[in-house]
Structure 1
Amino acid sequence: MRRAALLAAALAATMPVAATAKAPAKPTLEQRVQRLEDEDAIRHIFIAYAAALDGKNADAYVALFAKNGQWINGSIVRKGPAEIHALIDGMFHNTPAGYVNKDSFELTFHPDIKVDGDRATSRSEHVLFRRHMDGSGLPQAVLFGRYEDEFIRENGVWKILKRVDIPTIPTPEEWGRIMRARQQQPAQPPAGGAQ
């Protein structure tokens, strides 16, 4: 009997604590709308990023990065607008004026965006398509990889703070060899001519 009384007293002592513990506060409607707007703005960065790559537009590409932004691919690290611009200029060398890309396009998909105030992270996958080498004109997937991103709200606008570009098929080493070989080739006019 004494044991049962002690157990009942112990349970009673914990009940007020449990009863007074508060559930975590739910976000307000304003906070939930802000999160949706932030996620939407970050999704638009993915769209603008692919458009800048597809259009070989180095200025539009660099404008997506924060003033202290970084682009990383394996051992290649570029920091700040000048270094990132030089990297992209190297990739887009000899692009003719009025260029319209009819040879390649990038798709970015499955972004998992997590917003925390003026910072955010995301992980997404991407695939690069080019015209098939056999001359059929059919699209051929030539690169699959993922992006691991950090974003920052800079002067009220979301920007890429750090983009880690991780090619998986082919490997970073294989992709580096492909890109170096491509840069050695003379520029060719886009299929169908510029419009």
Structure 2
Amino acid sequence: MRIIHALALCALFIGPATVRAAPPAPGTVEARLQRVEDELAIRRVLVDYAASLDSRDYDAYAALFTSDGEWTGGGGSHKGRAAIRAMLADVLGPAGAANRANFHLITNPRVTVDGDKARATSRYLFVMRGADGRPQPSLAGIYTDDLVRVDGQWLIQRRVADDIMPTREEWAKIIAGQAKP
């Protein structure tokens, strides 16, 4: 009988510590709130992406990606934070050289969350100061992001920058110095 009592006490004290909370049931207030929080956190990743790019904070930029994250665009495909950071330095120059003469604008974000994975699409516009000193749109396109939640934080696992104006091929020539914007 003592063994049964001992097992019952163990179950009483140890059991709750090993039980994980179930995700909220679909349609509940908790589930809806979680979806809104996830979407806002992902939108914040998109905004931080543009801000870190404009401030030339390549470490903050790379930290928005998973350790094996991938960026694909006019400059090719780059996998891993170090490769993404190196791509930025090659295309934009040294880190920390904040350029107040350009802006990355991200608009029309659409976010779909599925548990710890999400997909976001957004439009982007890169504006630079032209030769005459006036703002000049120089690149526009669509981002498609696959994100994952890692230790409670949303990170980009894969980003595809689909340059529309100029096209990916035209932008690659501009980056290589073979064409003018």
TM-score, normalised by the number of residues in structure 2? 0.79
Deviation at 1:100? Answer: 3.7
TM-score, normalised by the number of residues in structure 1? 0.74
Percent identical pairs in the alignment equals: 40
Bigger Rg over Cα: 1
Amino acid at match of 1:155: D
Deviation at 1:90? Answer: 1.2
The RMSD of aligned alpha carbons is 1.8
SS in 1 for 2:175: helix
Q: Which residue of 2 aligns with 1:190?
A: none
Which runs of 5 or more structure 2 residues have no equivalent in the other structure? 1-24
Q: Which residue of 1 aligns with 2:70?
A: 70
CA–CA separation in structure 2 for the residues paired with 1:47 and 1:94: 22
CA–CA separation in structure 1 for the residues paired with 2:85 and 2:75: 18
Q: Which residue of 1 aligns with 2:40?
A: 40
Q: Which residue of 2 aligns with 1:91?
A: 91
Amino acid at match of 2:119: T
Amino acid at match of 1:145: G
CA–CA separation in structure 2 for the residues paired with 1:127 and 1:90: 21
Deviation at 1:127? Answer: 0.5
CA–CA separation in structure 1 for the residues paired with 2:151 and 2:145: 19
Partner residue of 2:102 out of 81, 101, 104: 104
SS in 1 for 2:52: helix
Q: How many equivalent pairs are there? A: 154
Q: Which deviations, in whole Å up to 9, do the C-alpha atoms of 1:10-44 show, x marking residues without a partner?
A: xxxxxxxxxxxxxxx85110010000000000000
Q: Which deviations, in whole Å up to 9, do the C-alpha atoms of 1:70-115 show, x marking residues without a partner?
A: 11126821111121121112123245x5x44221101000011000
Partner residue of 1:177 out of 173, 176, 181: 173
Flag as ranges the 4+ runs of structure 1 deviating above 6 A: none
